[in-house]
Amino acid sequence: MPDLFDERKKQVLAPVFFEAGAALYDCQSFEYGIAYLLYLFSRLGATGLDPAHCGAILDGEEKKTAGQLAQLLRKHLRISEGLEEGLGNALRARNHLVHRFLIENVERMLEVREHDALVKEIRGLRSTVRQCQKQLDPFVRALAQSLDGAPLDMWAIDAKEKFLRDSREH
C-alpha cells in the first residue's frame, strides 16, 4: 500500500526536485568540463599537466573536487580575470547547490507557497554555473577540434537526435 505522505510529497515537490536534479547535472557537467579542458591542455603539452594523470581524473580513477580542478587550471594555465571571477562564482554556486541548498531549505519545502521561490533560486544558482561553463566552452571546442578533428557539436547533434528518436518510441 503506497504511503499517502510519500505520494503527496513526490507530487508537490516535483518542480523543486526536478530543478534540483537539473542543477546537479549542470554541476557535474561543469566539473567534467574543467577536467576535460585540463586533459586537452595536457595533450597539447601544457607544463605540469600529464595526459595520463589528467585522463585518470577525467575517467574518475583519480578523484578531484571541482575546487581542486579549478586550482589545477589556475596553477598550470594563465586565465583571464573574467574567467577567474566566473570560476569563483560558479564554484560557490555549485558548492551551495550540491552541499547545502536542499537541507538549508527543508522548512521552506514544507510551505507550498515557497516552492516557486525555491525553483527560482535554484535556477539562479544554475545560471551562475552555466555562465562559467559557457566561458570554458570555446576553449574546449577549439582544442577538441584541433586535437581530435571532430567538432563537439557533431556529437551533441547526434545525441539530441537519438534522444528525440528514442523518446518518441516510449
Where in 31-118 does DSSP place strands (E)?
none
Contact 139, 79 (CB under 8 A): no
**1, pLDDT greater than 60:** no
State the pTM of this model. 0.87
**15, pLDDT greater than 70:** yes
Helix (H, G, I), strand (E, B) or coil at 76: helix
Task: Provide the CA 132 distance to its chain's centre, in angstroms.
Answer: 10
Per-domain residue ranges of the chain: 4-167
Cell numbers describing residue 152: 563537439
**152, pLDDT greater than 80:** no
Cell numbers describing residue 137: 566552452
**167, pLDDT greater than 90:** no
Q: How far is CA 159 from CA 15, 122, 163, in A?
A: 25, 26, 6
How many C-beta atoms surround the C-beta of residue 20 within 10 A?
A: 20
Helix (H, G, I), strand (E, B) or coil at 111: coil
| Residue 154 banded pLDDT, cuts 50, 70, 90 | low
73-118: pLDDT as tens digits? 999 999 999 999 999 999 999 999 999 999 999 999 999 999 999 9
Task: Provide the CA 2 distance to its chain's centre, in angstroms.
Answer: 34
